[in-house]
Structure 1
């Protein structure tokens, strides 16, 4: 397999100009290429499995840019947000300020700026007749048992039928026909919009924007109230209103600098089979009848780039983790201001296991924090609360705190029969395969108070430290070539 590091396509019209992030995906890709973090695969690669396999091997080290994917002229990129440090860099902040920066944008959104079609690169080319998505776009089939090609990095944008306010989310979309797609709708805002439209006998206009900059991708995952347009959070992350364009076949507004936009409508009272699909818990979801998008138009740049996310890998996990962490931290701090930091662990698929750093003042507070976390998001399955001397981003530190500060008979909290994630396969045990939606995702929750007692004997919970271990200058003391050691042996010290 030949790979080379190079800037993708023509970037002459765009620049890394905005403080805190690029306006277009290709600006960010060019930045990664210049800094040696983009691998270009410049030979034919199969869309079925091979592309995802290569992207998975590179995930977390370099973004993968495929110039010849499945015989298409449209290149494919994956993995450009696969490290937490890269996302912080795109935001223009230190990694320690990542959650604060996102929270600030979520609390102070900026209204988007509507631009004309001439100012919207995403509408340079328009298709409204004889649409064949398989012919137009290089849509990969990712995992071994996936039921065909899937769009995994599309921002699904729709308007609330009652208020007109937009919502943005990322949903898995199976492209199972030339102009029809089956979409998974979990019980969130887009699902509420679709239900309201369907109850009135109406289709729900939607758009799927593919290939947006990292800050707009990140904003799409904000956990916000139902009538909050995540594109306005994207504007706040950029530091200026996000340019948006109105779709050519409906009234939805989409990021003007997107690479590709698929326009359509979710049909009322129509369901078609979708799945199985390899999801973020690293298991397959079942095949079920899902809502259907009928495609009405496809628009794109003259030289578009298709973005795909390899399911369950770091780009997928971090995109969900960081906005959730920011929201969870803000939620917890409203009731418990001594909460200092939170982290959704990779081992908990960046959704189910939450680690909380807390400055405890009274006994029992940590259990309140645990209960508050469970109420913050139904996905949370396990919460560990630790003291401020424990790094919540270090799994070894968390395990050490549990090993030395936790006793199951007094520090364990278990809640039975709560709502959990429908994608957690352990919740299906004992349920019939055709269980109705209201019975899916029933989960037990577990909280661990791994904090020290407020008062303890002077040495019992005092961490062992060596004075100077954090400040000693090893570069000034350690010889890189071991010359002194060689001299020692040469002097006969064997």
Structure 2
């Protein structure tokens, strides 16, 4: 590792709001390197566990770049989106404008711009025969009980068989063989596309883009209705249409500046065992029969960079959190304009626990906000509503509000038997191992109204503050050394 690993501050080199957003992965990595936020590991690192272990040690402090992953000459990067401030920086906005900017891009997508193959860096090198993913790509095995190497940062792009409009998602993909992979598809748009193709006995063409720029990566996680291409949201985040290119073996369009693209098709009627795999709740998902991808081509840049996301760490969690937060904030504000901010907490794996900041105007309003949040996304398991004097991005502040403004007998909302996340292991308690899909993920929901009363006597709910605390200029007040104190003590002891 380089010498900057343990000394560079995580916020070093943060750009001012209004700076141009990151255009390519290489540009962003170069920026992180210039600002002391890229740790280069030059010695050979084992692809099984060791690479992920080092990336996890650096998580949230520096991105990791592995120059010798296993026996491969292709570099591997991880963790370049592992802080909320970095994501805002890549977007070219201040951190407090992050959700607003993402929401605006999702609401005003820009159609992509197709380029010819000779302009597409991702097709500089083309493999269509004798493909061996193990030999061609440095695909890590991450967690202790993972059932082999997994692609974790691949954008899976497919076209709706009925309309031709694309969908982009990140799915976990286990490499089963040289040209064969298993994929987990939750009941969302990609699964709907596949079901439509399979019903006609046809495969679903897909492409898996690895090593895209930060904003395209983030856009892939947008929560949109079906037939809204997330690559158009990526264009809006960039402020110009995203350049794309048609795949070599199918009609799917992929980001032209991607580092690596795997082209294939999800086979109809084929299922193979996939898992276990360490997922975002920080537990393993079960080994089950999953759909199968047959690889037909692999294209890449000259000297490509392979991106892997360490599951359940900050890059993984934040990529899911920010698009969800933007969607949830917009959803809540449509019914409750007094909602000011939200956060999906890290302790709630950026999926299950939502903190909401509310400028409360009427008693009972917080409970309505809680119910609205539960209806916004089935993953949400716990909602805490706080006042505007509480920072929802500070866990200690939220806990303080619960400790001093919440009473369970009057402020608790519990809903039994609701739909929850199938990846939440607590929902499986009491279920047989072969429980049918429609019985999986049944969850109780809990809401906490941690707002103070609108009317109270005296200063019983007045927050303690010290005038001048926020404006005290420590840089001007604190002496660069303790010479005056030393002189004072010498006189006192003389």
Alignment TM-score, normalising by the size of structure 2: 0.96
Residues 1:196 and 2:196 are matched in the alignment: yes
Paired with 1:412 and 1:21, the residues of 2 have a C-alpha distance of 42
Alignment of 1:285-324 (within 5 A): 285-324=285-324
Q: Residue 273 of structure 1 aligns with which residue?
A: 273
How big is the shift at 1:23? Answer: 2.3
How big is the shift at 1:322? Answer: 0.6
Residues 1:52 and 2:42 are matched in the alignment: no
Paired residue secondary structure (2:102)? helix
Q: Residue 207 of structure 2 aligns with which residue?
A: 207
How big is the shift at 1:492? Answer: 2.6
Alignment TM-score, normalising by the size of structure 1: 0.96
Residues 1:420 and 2:409 are matched in the alignment: no
Contact 2:22-2:91 within 8 A present in 1 as well: no
Paired with 1:445 and 1:194, the residues of 2 have a C-alpha distance of 31
Paired residue secondary structure (1:67)? strand
Query: CA-to-partner distance for each residue in 1:147-180, whole Å, 9 max, x for gaps?
Result: 0000000000001111111000000000011101
Contact 1:68-1:75 within 8 A present in 2 as well: yes
How big is the shift at 1:57? Answer: 0.5
Q: Residue 409 of structure 2 aligns with which residue?
A: 409
Paired residue secondary structure (2:321)? helix
Measured at CA, do residues 212 and 428 of structure 1 come closer, stay the same or move farther in structure 2, by a change above 3 Å? Answer: same
Q: Residue 178 of structure 2 aligns with which residue?
A: 178
Contact 1:246-1:253 within 8 A present in 2 as well: yes
Tell me the C-alpha RMSD between the 2 structures: 1.2
Q: Residue 9 of structure 2 aligns with which residue?
A: none
Residues 1:144 and 2:144 are matched in the alignment: yes
Paired residue secondary structure (1:262)? strand
Measured at CA, do residues 349 and 411 of structure 1 come closer, stay the same or move farther in structure 2, by a change above 3 Å? Answer: same
Query: CA-to-partner distance for each residue in 1:183-223, whole Å, 9 max, x for gaps?
Result: 00111111111111111111111000000000000000000
Contact 1:3-1:41 within 8 A present in 2 as well: no
How big is the shift at 1:22? Answer: 2.6
Query: CA-to-partner distance for each residue in 1:93-144, whole Å, 9 max, x for gaps?
Result: 0000000000000000000001000010001111111110000000000000
Residues 1:331 and 2:331 are matched in the alignment: yes
Paired residue secondary structure (2:324)? helix
How big is the shift at 1:480? Answer: 2.9
Contact 2:19-2:93 within 8 A present in 1 as well: no
Paired with 1:112 and 1:474, the residues of 2 have a C-alpha distance of 49
How big is the shift at 1:456? Answer: 1.2
Residues matched between the structures, number: 482
Paired residue secondary structure (2:100)? helix
Measured at CA, do residues 4 and 394 of structure 1 come closer, stay the same or move farther in structure 2, by a change above 3 Å? Answer: closer
Alignment of 1:11-410 (within 5 A): 20-410=20-410
How big is the shift at 1:457? Answer: 1.2
Contact 2:4-2:36 within 8 A present in 1 as well: no
Residues 1:464 and 2:464 are matched in the alignment: yes
Paired with 2:398 and 2:493, the residues of 1 have a C-alpha distance of 44
Query: CA-to-partner distance for each residue in 1:7-29, whole Å, 9 max, x for gaps?
Result: xxxxxxxxxxx963232211110
How big is the shift at 1:489? Answer: 1.2
Residues 1:482 and 2:470 are matched in the alignment: no
Contact 2:378-2:420 within 8 A present in 1 as well: yes
